[in-house]
Structure 1
Amino acid sequence: MGETTVTPPEGQQKVAPQPVASNAAGQGHLRRMRTPRRPRLWFEMLLIAVSYWTYSLIRNAVPEQKEQALSNADWIWKAEHQLGLAVEESVNHAVNSVTWLIIGMNYYYATLHFVVTLGVLVWLYRAHPGRYAATRLVLFATTAVALVGYYLYPLAPPRLMNGGDFIDTVLVHQTWGSMASGDLKNMSNQFAAMPSMHIGWSVWCGLTIFALARVPWVRVLGLLYPVATLVVIVATANHFWLDAVGGVLCLAFGFTVAWIWYGTLPYALPAVPARGRAGNLLPHKA
Structure 2
Amino acid sequence: MQNLTLTWQTAGGASAALFGAAYAVKRANRLPAATVLREAGTLLALFALWQLVGHLSLVSPDHALDRADWIHRTELRLGFPDEAAWQRAVTPHAWLIAASNYYYATMHFAVMIALLVWVFARHRERYSWVRTTVVLTTAACLTIQFIPVAPPRMLPGNGFVDVAAEYGQSVYGGAVGGVVADQLSAMPSVHVAWCVIVAVAVVKVARGPWRWLVVLHPLLTVFVVVVTANHFWADGLVAVALLLIAYLVQHAFSGWRSGGQGDAGGIREAEPQRTSVGG
Scaled by the length of structure 2, the TM-score of the pair is: 0.76
Q: Which residue of 2 aligns with 1:215?
A: 208
Residues 157-166 or 183-192, more deviating: 183-192
Q: Which residue of 2 aligns with 1:12?
A: none
Q: Which residue of 2 aligns with 1:88?
A: 83
Scaled by the length of structure 1, the TM-score of the pair is: 0.75
Give the Cα–Cα distance (whole angstroms) in 1 for the partners of residues 175 and 100 of structure 2. Answer: 18
Give the Cα–Cα distance (whole angstroms) in 2 for the partners of residues 221 and 87 of structure 1. Answer: 28
Give the Cα–Cα distance (whole angstroms) in 1 for the partners of residues 60 and 83 of structure 2. Answer: 23
Q: Which residue of 2 aligns with 1:28?
A: none
Which of 191, 194, 202 is matched with 2:195 structurally? 202
Q: Which residue of 1 aligns with 2:154?
A: 160
Unaligned runs of 5+ in 1: 1-36, 273-284
Which of 140, 161, 165 is matched with 1:171 structurally? 165
1:210-248, Cα deviation, whole Å (9 max, x unpaired): 11111312x222222111100000000000011000110
Paired residue type of 1:161: L
- Preserved CA contact (<8 Å) 1:60 1:188: no
Larger Rg: 1
Give the Cα–Cα distance (whole angstroms) in 1 for the partners of residues 146 and 206 of structure 2. Answer: 36
2:216 aligned with 1:254:
no
Quote the offset at 1:47 in angstroms: 1.7
Give the Cα–Cα distance (whole angstroms) in 2 for the partners of residues 133 and 227 of structure 1. Answer: 26
Paired residue type of 1:228: L
Which of 169, 192, 205 is matched with 2:185 structurally? 192
Q: Secondary structure at the match of 1:61?
A: coil
Paired residue type of 2:268: A
Q: Which residue of 1 aligns with 2:15?
A: none
Residues 202-211 or 247-256, more deviating: 247-256
Residues 119-128 or 79-88, more deviating: 79-88
Task: Report % sequence identity.
Answer: 33
Paired residue type of 1:91: W
2:174 aligned with 1:183:
yes
Give the Cα–Cα distance (whole angstroms) in 1 for the partners of residues 214 and 119 of structure 2. Answer: 14
Q: Secondary structure at the match of 1:151?
A: coil
- Preserved CA contact (<8 Å) 2:204 2:271: no
What is the aligned-residue RMSD (CA, Å)? Answer: 2.4
Paired residue type of 1:50: A
Q: Which residue of 2 aligns with 1:25?
A: none
1:159-200, Cα deviation, whole Å (9 max, x unpaired): 112622211011111113xx33x2249712211100000000
Higher helix share: 2
Give the Cα–Cα distance (whole angstroms) in 1 for the partners of residues 55 and 231 of structure 2. Answer: 17
Quote the offset at 1:256 in angstroms: 2.2
Q: Which residue of 1 aligns with 2:266?
A: 266
Give the Cα–Cα distance (whole angstroms) in 2 for the partners of residues 43 and 238 of structure 1. Answer: 33
Give the Cα–Cα distance (whole angstroms) in 2 for the partners of residues 271 and 41 of structure 1. Answer: 23
Alignment of structure 1 residues 39-58 onto 2, 5 Å: 40-58=35-53
Q: Secondary structure at the match of 2:102?
A: helix
